[in-house]
Amino acid sequence: MNAIEGLLYETSKFFLTPVLLLLILMFVYALFSLGQMLIEAVLRMRRPHGSAPLHAWQAQNKQAGIDALELYVLKQLEWQRITSRVAPMLGLVATMIPMGPALIAVAQGNTQGMAQNLVVAFSAVIIALLSAAVTFVVQNLRRRWLLEELNALLAAQPQSHHPVAAQAANNAGAGLSHG
């Protein structure tokens, strides 16, 4: 191995621990998000408007317009979206880093060293994919709930108070799509 290859190898090994720690944090966050969503689902079943986070936010921010409300919705979903997209990438990184030492162990006939590195690699990718899957489902369900609530809020208010909403309604009627 030349100097550049050795530097790349040592640098990549340095990132294994931080990546594994991030994956553990993402997994804990995914479980936390799942718990939050289950509680919100129960509240939504018990009450007609469910937990109504947008109603509560709007009551506290009476002067906020539709743009602020939409921004609040995006903020509510931001970490779930980030986790669902970044966790698989970090899982791939955490899978590939131990592959180098595993290949070296194979070349040296050290099957135990190879096995230990492969266990880390496959465990990391499993945790990453589970984190991504859970947060993807939670994000999509919560997004639907928040958009339903946002639509209900907009329908309950006069359009003259929300020119952006009136314009959006006009655009939707004209067949325009907001990607």
pLDDT, tens digit, 9 for 90 and up, residues 80-135:
999 999 999 999 999 999 998 888 889 999 999 999 989 999 999 999 999 999 99
- Asked if the structure places residue 179 within a domain, the reply is no
Residue at 178 is within a domain: no
Residue at 57 is within a domain? yes
Residue 68 lies in a domain: yes
| pLDDT computed for residue 112 by the predictor | 92
In a domain, 108, yes or no: yes
Q: How many domains does the chain have?
A: 1
Asked if residue 33 lies in contact with residue 138, where contact means CB atoms within 8 angstroms, the answer is: yes
pTM: 0.79
Residue 23: give the domain boundaries. Answer: 3-173
**Which of 173 and 27 is assigned the larger pLDDT?**
27
pLDDT, residue 50, reads 55
Contacts of residue 137, defined as CB under 8 A and 6 or more positions apart, other chains included, come to: none
